[in-house]
Amino acid sequence: MKKEENPTHGMMSIPGFPIVLVTVDRNIMTAAAFSFYSFKPPCVMVGIVPKRLTFELISSKREYGINIPRADQLEAVRVCGSISGREANKFTKAGLTPTKGKVIDSFLIEECPVSLECKVVHEVDFGGSHRWFIGEIKAAHIDQNYKRDSALMYWSREYRKVGEVIPLKTE
Ligand SMILES: Cc1cc2nc3c(=O)[nH]c(=O)nc-3n(C[C@H](O)[C@H](O)[C@H](O)COP(=O)(O)O)c2cc1C
């Protein structure tokens, strides 16, 4: 039987948030508030809290990189999600290599198997905790051995691996 709970608990019941590393300028930030937005044109969106350095940088540069880490890059994910670029250079702290984007001026992460170069095309903010920056993917760099199963998910303050495929029953 279901019990009525407060709306925030309802939201926290969403089973999965993908973990990405957002790069802008020379900074990296871990984000779980990330989603697909549109296939045509190919757009994604990322939710950033206004006090982050990343917020300031995306607002001025109007671009960002989305770098998808593998589950075995958890330590770098933790570093980029626990200190601000105002305090340290996170490429150095996390042992990651900056590579210049082809389209955007910001750096991407060499070690991540997927890097997407995005230009901000729209923003959504109605005074909530996050501002959503919708970015059109202008270039995509994908390791040819990349499998989505190697990505990381996050909820309830725990990192998780992607689950199993459930084969469909055929009649
Ligand atoms: C697993 C995880 C997910 C996070 N997701 C977000 C997010 O979606 N949006 C956000 O603004 N901050 C998020 N954070 C917090 C930022 O990564 C963190 O505050 C970071 O230090 C900000 O760096 P900056 O000041 O260099 O931008 C997350 C942190 C962790 C550990």
Q: How far is the CA of 144 from the centre of ligand 1 (A)?
A: 28
Answer yes or no: is 169 within a domain.
no
From the CA of 54, give the closest atom in ligand 1. 27
pLDDT tens by residue, 113-171: 999 999 999 999 999 999 999 999 999 999 999 999 999 999 989 999 988 899 999 87
Pairing of strands 63-68, 43-48: unpaired
Q: How far is the CA of 81 from the centre of ligand 1 (A)?
A: 5
pLDDT tens by residue, 73-106: 999 999 999 999 999 999 999 999 999 999 999 9
- Confidence (pLDDT) at 129: 96
* Lateral strand order in the sheet of 17-18: 17-18, 152-155, 158-161
From the CA of 130, give the closest atom in ligand 1. 11
Answer yes or no: is 11 within a domain.
no
Taking the mean position of all CA atoms in its chain, how far away is CA 6? 27
Answer yes or no: is 131 within a domain.
yes
Answer yes or no: is 80 within a domain.
yes
Report the length, in residues, of the chain: 171
Answer yes or no: is 81 within a domain.
yes
Answer yes or no: is 167 within a domain.
no
Domain that holds residue 75: 16-161
Residue whose Cα lies nearest atom 24 of ligand 1: it is 84
- Selection from 58, 18, 1, 20 nearest residue 160 by Cα: 18
- The structure's pTM equals 0.96
Among all chains, which residue has been given the structure tokens 């790069």?
23
Q: What CATH number is attached to the domain comprising 38?
A: 2.30.110.10
Work out how many domains the chain is built from and give that number.
1
Contacts of 8 (CB under 8 A, 6+ apart): none
The set of protein residues with a Cβ atom below 6 angstroms from ligand 1 is: 19, 27, 29-33, 47-49, 52-54, 81-86, 154
How would residue 16 be classed by pLDDT, with cut points 50, 70 and 90?
A: confident
Please write down the long-range contacts of 7-13, taking CB distance under 8 Å and 24 or more positions apart. Answer: 12/155, 12/156
pLDDT tens by residue, 22-76: 999 999 999 999 999 999 999 999 999 999 999 999 999 999 999 999 999 999 9
Answer yes or no: is 10 within a domain.
no
Q: How far is the CA of 10 from the centre of ligand 1 (A)?
A: 22
- Confidence (pLDDT) at 36: 95
